[in-house]
Amino acid sequence: MDTVCLSPRKPLRLILSLLFLSLSFSFNNASAQADGKKLFKQKCAVCHSMKEGVKITGPSLLGVFNRIPQGDWFVNWVLNNDKLIKSGDKYAVKISSFDVSAMTVFESELSKEEVLAIGEFIKTGGGDEAPSDCENPFAVTEEEESNATLYVLLGIISFLVLLIAVLRTTKHSIRNTLNEREGKPLNPEMGFWPEAKAWMGMHKRFVALCVIFVLCIGSKAAWDGMMGIGVYTGYAPEQPIKFSHKIHAGDNGINCQYCHSGVERSKTAGIPTVNVCMNCHKGIEGSCGWMKPEIEKVRVASGFDGSGYTKPEKPIEWVKVHNLPDFVFFSHQQHVKVGKQECATCHGDVQGMHVIEQKEPLTMSWCIDCHRKTEVPGMKDNPYYEQLHAKLAEKYKGQKITVDKMGGIECGKCHY
């Protein structure tokens, strides 16, 4: 039995598992640092930069560990600065007296480990070490790809036309050579149309079939065009600034409402003003080469000169993606707050999109189909809707109360 343990495989296995251990250890380390960076951008970058002397709402955190007390102070401060100040901690009282604006309490959002990871990131000096040649997701667009297939198609068609022309002249000259040999008069060069007409006269049935085929395709396209008035599924226009939803709402986990603050309280979701962008971009210049000029456009639009807003502000002219006609009434508040519908149901996986694209048709039948099959959720905190829903529940005992049952398919609800 002991001899088995001494088999030559054992040291190999030991070395392998040691290697694996150290690998996974360094992986863990790397991910803790990456998390720290991500968390810093999500939670702290709104108020703190990592640039020397750049104050946003709070001071720059570059080298902050050289001035704050050692030990648990950092963790205690970040988790609950309020409590630390009230406990009479000397340094906490001192810095909060400089500054009227208070820092957020993070107790409910961050764990101790996460705060420590943020601390590790701050100690690295702020991540300007990031490579400047990271991949630019805006570099290749699908439009270019579909253009490529178009060019190939055009190429094939012009090749075929050329081939027909060559065959036609060859046929003509062969016939003339034959005529010449047999002593017949030469065939005059016939125009294209007279020749085509003569050919069609000889192949009547084939021509009739072709005409029917073309008519069918044409009317189908016309029908699709008519049904698709105002339908722009897949519409994804180029924007004046290459702003990525994936990087903001996906990778950095910024809440939709942070920028589209209207969704819960008004008809429109709203596009954020450049001031909202500058909450972060006063401090964030972008870690990749391709980002810097795009973020610079944001700063120029806000009139930022590097330290203050001294230049004139120029609003960014975003291109609207979703467009309902003016005679349709649609309210985000009604759908998001009252109807409890997710953004993704109507806008798709925005967190995964670099460029926003219209995913749903926004036609009348699209609205009505959903109203027919979606149940109306209750609303405990709003007496008006509670009462309405209670009445409906009584009227439709035991049935599902869908939006159409409360009038959601009456013309007047959606049309002014």
Binding residues among 239-268 for ligand HEC as defined by CB under 6 A: 239, 241-245, 247-249, 252, 254, 256, 258-260, 263, 268
Stretch that binds ligand HEC, among 164-172, 197-205, 234-242, 390-398 (CB under 6 A): 234-242
> Residues with Cβ < 8 Å from 24, sequence gap 6 or more?
none
Query: Residues 176 to 195: which contact ligand HEC by CB under 6 A?
Result: none
Closest CA to 56 of 248, 307, 409: 307
Nearest residue to 363 (alpha-carbon basis) of 263, 224, 262, 237: 224
**Binder to ligand HEC among 83, 172, 405, 413 (CB under 6 A)?**
413
Quote the tokens at residue 114.
């996460």
Contact 36, 121 (CB under 8 A): yes
Rounded Cα gap, residues 290 and 92, in angstroms: 40
Region 83-102 residues binding ligand HEC, contact defined as CB under 6 A:
95-96, 99, 101-102
Residue 174 CB, shortest distance to ligand HEC, in Å, is 58
What minimum distance in Å lies between the beta carbon of 129 and ligand HEC?
12
Angle, alpha carbons 337-339-345 (nearest 5°): 100
Minimum Å gap between C-beta 254 and ligand HEC is: 4
Distance CA 70, CA 394 (A): 65
| Whole-angstrom distance, CA of residue 278 vs CA of residue 34 | 24
Range in contact with ligand HEC (rule: CB under 6 A) among 12-20, 177-185, 393-401, 406-414: 406-414
Task: Residue 190: count other Cβ atoms within 10 Å of its Cβ.
Answer: 13
**Toward ligand HEC, which CB reaches closer, 89 or 254?**
254
Q: Which is nearer to ligand HEC, 49 or 335 (CB)?
A: 335
- For the four alpha carbons of 293, 297, 302 and 303, in that order, the dihedral sign comes to positive
Q: Tell the smallest beta-carbon distance from residue 157 to ligand HEC (Å).
A: 34
d(CA 259, CA 269): 9
How many CB atoms are located within 10 Å of the residue 40 CB? 20
Q: Does 236 bind ligand HEC (CB under 6 A)?
A: no
Question: Based on CB atoms, which residue is closest to ligand HEC, 54 or 68?
Answer: 68
Residue whose CB is less far from ligand HEC, 104 or 176: 104
* Residue 342 CB partners (closer than 8 Å, separation 6+): none
- Contact between 54 and ligand HEC by CB under 6 A: the answer reads no
What are the angstrom distances between the C-alpha of 18 and each of 21, 23, 117, 350?
Answer: 5, 8, 26, 42
Smallest separation, CB 221 to ligand HEC (Å): 18
Out of 88, 151, 229, 398, the residue judged to bind ligand HEC by CB under 6 A: 229
Residue 110 · residue 79 · CB < 8 Å: yes
Residue owning tokens 């104050």:
55
| Cβ at position 314, least distance to ligand HEC in Å | 13
**230 near ligand HEC, rule: CB under 6 A:** yes
Token pair for 131: 């490579």
Minimum distance, C-beta of residue 95 to ligand HEC, in the bound complex (Å): 5
Asked if residue 48 lies in contact with residue 59, where contact means CB atoms within 8 angstroms, the answer is yes
Range in contact with ligand HEC (rule: CB under 6 A) among 5-13, 54-62, 145-153, 207-215 = 54-62
In whole angstroms, how close is the CB of 364 to ligand HEC at the nearest point?
3
Distance CA 162, CA 405 (A): 64
Nearer to ligand HEC, 80 or 103 (CB): 103
Q: Pattern of binders to ligand HEC over 4-43, x per CB under 6 A?
A: -------------------------------------x-x
What distance in Å separates the CA atoms of residue 190 and residue 194, rounded to the nearest whole number? 7
CB of 105 to ligand HEC, least distance (A): 10
- Chain positions 350 to 389 lying near ligand HEC, rule: CB under 6 A, are 350-351, 356, 362-364, 366-368, 370-371, 374, 376
Does 304 help bind ligand HEC (rule: CB under 6 A)?
Answer: no
> What is the nearest approach in angstroms of ligand HEC to the Cβ of residue 26?
23
Report d(CA 278, CA 313) in Å as an integer. 12
The answer to whether 299 contacts ligand HEC (rule: CB under 6 A) is: no
Residues between 307 and 336 that touch ligand HEC (CB under 6 A) = 318, 320-325, 328-330, 332, 334-336
**Residue 44 engages ligand HEC in binding (rule: CB under 6 A):** yes
Length of the chain: 416
